[in-house]
Amino acid sequence: AAAKRGAFSSRQVFILAAIGSAVGLGNIWRFPYVAYDNGGGAFVIPYIVALLTAGIPFLFLDYAMGHRFRGSAPLSFARLRRGTEGLGWWQVGICFMIAIYYAAVMAWAVRYTIFSVNKAWGDDPEGFFFGEFLQAGDPGVDATPVWGVLIPLLLVWVAILAVMLLGVQKGVGASSVIFIPLLVVAFVILVVRSLFLPGAAEGLDALFTPNWGALTDATVWAAAYGQIFFSLSIGFGIMITYSSYVHKHTDMPGSGLVVGFANSSFELLAGIGVFAALGFMAQANGVAVGDVATSGIGLAFVAFPAIISEAPAGALIGVLFFFSLVIAGFTSMVSIVEVVISGVRDKFEMTRTGATIAVTIPMAVLSLIFFSTTSGIYVLDIIDHFINQFGILLVAVISMLILSWGLRVLPTFSAHLSDGSSIVVGAWWRILVSIVAPIGLVLVLGLSFWEDLKTPYEGYPGWMLGVFGWGGAAAVIVFGFLAAQAKWRDPEALSEIHF
Ligand code: PHE
Ligand code: NA
């Protein structure tokens, strides 16, 4: 059955695919502002602590699950212990939700790559984005289609479908082998260009000037742990799935260090590029960098267009920036969709083609229904916030605790990981995974839970937060437990690997 599931042809392809998943929108539009907002240069300390005490250790845990049990998230958990299959489906549910809105952001970036050429937003990027482009009404639900989004969104899904149909090596693997080097080249040119803009130095000063006082603030530490989990794509099935496609005798911890290092390097690079550009914008408008610093949708679709309009050779900056978003997003998107396809495929013993169609078409349809209408952006913003806070982090901490304390599998896992690796994954790792990382995560979760209860996120109406935010986060849990009740097409598959 192993051959039927597909495999990466080499360790290098696996590493590139894992980097492809890790390096995404989060590196480019999330990290720079998180670092700036949480101590600037001083953020390097909580960031590295979070990386070493939680990020890398949990990356290894995901690798051990997938590499040892050779299955998708649901199959790996079910093989470990029947009763934990639901955790795998919970992760599948999270990926399903993320995929349907992630595609929309990519569709916008595709449009904006083209808009950059003639700066289609004129002198009002914000009005253009929400008005002419998205045609956003008031927060609520409205089903009027927006063709300028619907068509590129359809194209994004066709591209995803095509890659997924090609399979693990020729689709998932090959797309990263091509896109990651391309991304590095495009992004390095962008960063170098930005560094030569007037005001770039002030931007870098704003990013790197350390605010040591931030280190005593719990929210700063929480931000570091949150960023690391999101950024490394750990804890929600992706790395379990990918490592199930790696040959048995492979140095997994060594690969993990390469992936972690590559991802953090790309975050640093993006921080430099983004803040150099923001420094230029601040200087051009005679304001402080702090007045223009922002992240996410506002950075990419409002601030950057303004920079593109004002900077010399702005069109080049624009095309490189949005093209980078598109390809960085694409390889992450592929990894999210693969979690769902692989889960469905293992459980129902479907062919690659059958499972790909059965999974991708419904996702595409939902994505088009929700995100190509005039209310798309609000739903997207809410789901993104809640699924990151209460989807990814919650399933990560719960599975970590169940594996280490409930099932006590860490000794076996550390033996598995150390076998064939120059890195000894020993007691230090078990302590980090069972104690230090969960404490970090509980802190993040507690703080953001409190925050969301105290103040309604972004002031959205309560019913929208209830339905799409809390409701969405709860729905994936319910889905997880229901999906685990369904019968395995071939129950033998569960016992192929003995633990
Ligand atoms: N790790 C990706 C990033 O930093 C984000 C991501 C989120 C990837 C969800 C896959 C799934 O951008
Ligand atoms: Na990342």
263 lines ligand 1 (CB under 6 A): no
pLDDT of residue 319: 98
Ligand that lies nearest to the alpha carbon of residue 25, given by its number in the listed order:
1
- With CA atoms as reference, report the closest residue to 26 among 425, 388, 489, 366: 388
The answer to whether ipTM exceeds 0.85 is yes
Q: How far is the CA of 147 from the centre of ligand 2 (A)?
A: 31
Q: Half-sphere exposure (CA, 13 Å, Cβ side) for 133?
A: 25
Give the ligand 1 atom nearest the CA of 335: 10
324 lines ligand 1 (CB under 6 A): no
Q: Which of 332, 363, 384, 387 to mutate to test the pocket of ligand 1 (most atoms within 8 A of CB)?
A: 332
pLDDT of residue 375: 78
Q: Rounded to whole angstroms, how far apart are CA atoms 418 and 57?
A: 13
Ligand that lies nearest to the alpha carbon of residue 259, given by its number in the listed order:
2
Determine the distance from the C-alpha atom of residue 62 to the mean position of all C-alpha atoms in its chain, rounded to a whole number.
15
Does residue 66 contact residue 243 with C-beta atoms inside 8 Å? yes
Please write the tens of the pLDDT for every residue from 160-207: 999 999 999 999 999 999 999 999 999 999 999 999 999 999 999 999
Q: How far is the CA of 27 from the centre of ligand 2 (A)?
A: 5
Contacts 24+ apart (CB under 8 A), 174-178: 174/13, 175/20, 175/330, 175/331, 175/334, 176/13, 176/16, 176/17, 176/19, 176/20, 176/331, 176/334, 177/13, 177/16
- With CA atoms as reference, report the closest residue to 228 among 452, 444, 472: 444
Does residue 74 contact residue 347 with C-beta atoms inside 8 Å? yes
25 lines ligand 1 (CB under 6 A): yes
DSSP-assigned letters across all residues of 439-453: HHHHHHHHHHHHHHH
Residue with tokens 């506002």: 298
Q: How far is the CA of 151 from the centre of ligand 2 (A)?
A: 28
Residue 295 DSSP class? -
Instruction: Kindly report the protein residue whose alpha carbon is nearest to atom 10 of ligand 1.
Output: 332
Instruction: Kindly report the protein residue whose alpha carbon is nearest to atom 9 of ligand 1.
Output: 233
Residue with tokens 């040591």: 212
Average pLDDT of each block of 10 consecutive residues along the chain (499 residues)? 78 98 96 96 96 96 96 96 96 96 96 97 95 84 85 98 98 98 98 97 97 94 90 94 95 97 98 98 97 95 97 96 98 98 96 97 95 86 88 91 96 95 95 95 90 92 94 95 95 74
Give me 71's structure tokens: 């299955």
pLDDT of residue 137: 78
pLDDT of residue 144: 82
Q: How far is the CA of 436 from the centre of ligand 1 (A)?
A: 23
Give me 492's structure tokens: 């033998």
Q: How far is the CA of 466 from the centre of ligand 2 (A)?
A: 28
233 lines ligand 1 (CB under 6 A): yes
Q: Rounded to whole angstroms, how far apart are CA atoms 238 and 343?
A: 11
- With CA atoms as reference, report the closest residue to 7 among 167, 237, 177: 167
Q: How far is the CA of 39 from the centre of ligand 1 (A)?
A: 23
